[in-house]
Structure 1
Amino acid sequence: MKSRVATAGLVAFLAVDVGLVALALRAGRPSEDVPVTSTTRTAELITSTPATSTPRATSTTRPTGGSGGTGATSGGGKAVPVSRLVSALDAATAWRATTGTCDRGGATLELTTDGGQSWTKVRSPTRAVTRVQPLDSTRAFTIGAGADCTLKQYASRDAGQTWQAPTAVVGGWARRLDEPTQVLTPKESAATPCGDGAVLDLSRTSASQAQALCADGSVVLTGDGGSTWTDSGDAPGAVALSNLIADNSLKTYAVRVVSACKGVQLVEVAKGRTADVVACVAVPNVPRGEVGLSVTESAGWIVAGNQTFRARGDLTSWKHA
Structure 2
Amino acid sequence: MARRSALGRAAGAAALTAIAVAAVALAVLAIQHGRPPASAATARPVPTFEIESPSPTPTPTPTPSAPTADRFLSVGAAAAWRATSGACDGTSPVIEWSGDDGLTWTDVTPEGIGAVRSLTSFGGVNATAVVDAASACDTVALSSFTSGAYWQTYDNLFAAASYLTADPGQVVVAGDAIAAPCSTPRNLRVDGTIALLCEDVAYARSGTEWNQLATGVVALAVDPAGVVTAARTDACAGIELTRYDGQAGGTPACLTVADPAAPLAIDLDQGEVVAWSGDEVARLSR
Give the TM-score normalised by structure 1. 0.65
How many pairs align?
A: 239
Is residue 140–residue 156 contact of structure 1 (8 Å, CA) maintained in 2? yes
Pair 1:130 & 2:105 matched = no
Give the TM-score normalised by structure 2. 0.72
Structure 1 segment 95-106 matched on structure 2, within 5 A: 95-106=81-92
For residues 245-296 of structure 1, give each alpha carbon's deviation from its aligned partner in whole angstroms, at most 9, with x where no partner exists: 2xxxx22101112222222211112444455302243340435xx2101002
Percent identical: 21
Q: 1:257 maps to which residue?
A: 232
Is residue 235–residue 269 contact of structure 1 (8 Å, CA) maintained in 2? no
Is residue 68–residue 86 contact of structure 2 (8 Å, CA) maintained in 1? no
Is residue 197–residue 215 contact of structure 1 (8 Å, CA) maintained in 2? no
Shift of the alpha carbon at 1:192?
Answer: 2.6
Pair 1:173 & 2:173 matched = no
More strand by share: 2
Is residue 235–residue 275 contact of structure 1 (8 Å, CA) maintained in 2? no
Pair 1:276 & 2:255 matched = no
Change (3 A) 1:112 1:216: closer
For residues 64-83 of structure 1, give each alpha carbon's deviation from its aligned partner in whole angstroms, at most 9, with x where no partner exists: xxxxxxxxxxxxxxxx9952
Structure 1 distance, partners of 2:227, 2:279, is 24
Pair 1:297 & 2:274 matched = no
Structure 2 distance, partners of 1:160, 1:108, is 12
Pair 1:236 & 2:215 matched = yes
Is residue 232–residue 260 contact of structure 2 (8 Å, CA) maintained in 1? no
Structure 2 distance, partners of 1:302, 1:153, is 25
SS of 1:25's equivalent? helix
Shift of the alpha carbon at 1:230?
Answer: 3.3
Q: 1:310 maps to which residue?
A: 283
SS of 1:252's equivalent? strand
Q: 2:146 maps to which residue?
A: 158
Cα RMSD for the two superposed structures? 3.1
SS of 1:159's equivalent? coil
Matched residue type, 2:242: V
Structure 2 distance, partners of 1:119, 1:272, is 36
More helix by share: 2
Is residue 217–residue 238 contact of structure 1 (8 Å, CA) maintained in 2? yes
The runs of 5 or more residues in structure 1 that have no matched partner are 1-20, 42-79, 316-321
SS of 1:221's equivalent? strand
Is residue 82–residue 291 contact of structure 1 (8 Å, CA) maintained in 2? no
Is residue 234–residue 270 contact of structure 1 (8 Å, CA) maintained in 2? no
For residues 221-240 of structure 1, give each alpha carbon's deviation from its aligned partner in whole angstroms, at most 9, with x where no partner exists: 144xxxx2331x52221111
Aligned partner of 2:28 among 27, 30, 47: 30
Shift of the alpha carbon at 1:153?
Answer: 0.1
Structure of greater relative contact order (alpha carbons < 8 Å, 6+ residues apart): 1
Change (3 A) 1:180 1:307: farther
